[in-house]
Amino acid sequence: MSAAALPGTPFVHYRGEELFVEEVRLADLARAHGTPLFVYSRAAMLSALAAYQRGFAGRKARIFYALKANSSLAILQVFARAGCGFDIVSGGELERVLAAGAKGSDIIFSGVGKTRREMQRALEAGIHCFNVESEAELEVLSEVAAGLGQKAPVSLRVNPDVNPLTHPYISTGLKGNKFGIAHKDALRAYRRAAALPGLRVVGIDCHIGSQITQVSPYLDALERVLDLVAAIEAEGIPISHIDFGGGLGIVYNSESPPAADVLWQRLLARLDARGYGDRQLMIEPGRSLVGNAGVCVAEVLYLKPGEQKNFCIIDAAMNDLPRPAMYEAFHQIVPLKQSATKPVTYDVVGPVCESGDWIGRDRKLAVQPGELLAVLSAGAYCMSMASNYNTRGRPAEVLVDGAQAHVIREREDVADQVRKEKLLP
């Protein structure tokens, strides 16, 4: 297998027979830190970010990293130092962003279920904007802000009823989704927001889904959002910024999503044509910044032949890599050291006691117990969704920067997991 055969990023590549992340041999990291092990490339993250920055060159635009994709503190530091803001969906994520060195004014607060306590803490931190997702939330946020003697800056997340052509679990912009305010109700909601004493309308927001690999859903959503901007401003409610969310897909297998700069050339051309090209623009990418930057290294524990399936049992499991079990998602799986041995077709599975604990089906691999595999494109929605199911400790994480490797999260042990628990007297 050549470097060209690896998806998504040139920063994960073979040198001869051995797999590297940037200048660091993955086998060396596995020996030093054990497995399962998440390893991320700083250069890959900054390269993905640079595509967005090129797309927005010369425009009034800001990128807010959606940290639900991967909220590890050191990764947040990378994006903060590169000038990003942050899109959060919980009070816990707010505290993570602040701990990573960002300011409140760098933060947008999204999500359908913000609590009063979360709203108050965000207002005290001086966040940039709330993306409000229901008319009921408008009322509560106004009450909380007025109680603090403030006016909360708000943008309403509008559901444009556009099919993002992605997995139904990560589609967020259709009528049947829980997110956002229905397109037909948006004008009424903006009138109400403008009338409430604790709110200040500053923008409009739209986010239609995740792992989107075509331009057409974005263009369709943009048209519907701009129609609304015109109608809202005709009511005397100015819209200072347009927030177009995130959702751009990455290469897991054979997908061909548009590059971020190419996508935004198309969208900006349409904004210009409709007279909105000079507006403040905001976007909230997550997966497209970190997904291809990460790999999960795992050890082969056993090879188990069967009548219908051969199983390659590894020490990483669905609690470490939940995407296959949740979405039937595909991740490429490759050996850390290539072999000329004839490959065998395996289902790659973990040790968790669930039939859904699989990482890859029908994979051709030439491996033996004790050898190491890498699950590619594991930078997004893996560690951030990891759990302690079966009392398994979450893996360690390492960030590679050129020839240096930094441990950014230590491996959990059982003592870490039970520290907050109490035995009965």
> Which residues are the active-site residues?
353
CA end-to-end span of the chain: 59
The reply, when asked if residue 354 is annotated as ligand binding, is yes
Instruction: Please tell me what DSSP assigns to residue 390.
Output: G
The reply, when asked if residue 286 is annotated as ligand binding, is yes
Give the residue from 293, 391, 337, 356 showing the smallest Cα distance to 70.
293
The reply, when asked if residue 116 is annotated as ligand binding, is no
Residues sharing a CB contact under 8 Å with residue 372, sequence separation 6 or more, in sequence order: 26, 27, 30, 35, 297, 298, 299, 300, 335, 336, 337
The reply, when asked if residue 247 is annotated as ligand binding, is yes
Specify whether the CB–CB gap between 227 and 306 falls below 8 A: no
**CA 408 – CA 145 distance, rounded (Å):** 36
Specify whether the CB–CB gap between 18 and 27 falls below 8 A: yes
Inter-CA distances, 418 with 392, 421, 422, Å: 12, 5, 8
The reply, when asked if residue 285 is annotated as ligand binding, is yes
Give the residue from 87, 142, 95, 140 showing the smallest Cα distance to 113.
140
Specify whether the CB–CB gap between 334 and 298 falls below 8 A: no
Return the number of other C-beta atoms located less than 10 Å from residue 331's C-beta: 22
With the C-alpha atoms ordered 211, 213, 214, 219, is the resulting torsion angle positive or negative? positive
**CA 5 – CA 186 distance, rounded (Å):** 46
The reply, when asked if residue 169 is annotated as ligand binding, is no
**CA 364 – CA 240 distance, rounded (Å):** 53
Specify whether the CB–CB gap between 168 and 175 falls below 8 A: no
**CA 22 – CA 4 distance, rounded (Å):** 15
294 membership: H or E segment, kind and range? strand 294-304
Binding region: 247, 284-287, 323, 327, 354, 381
Binding region for pyridoxal 5'-phosphate: 247, 284-287, 381
Binding region for substrate: 287, 323, 327, 354, 381
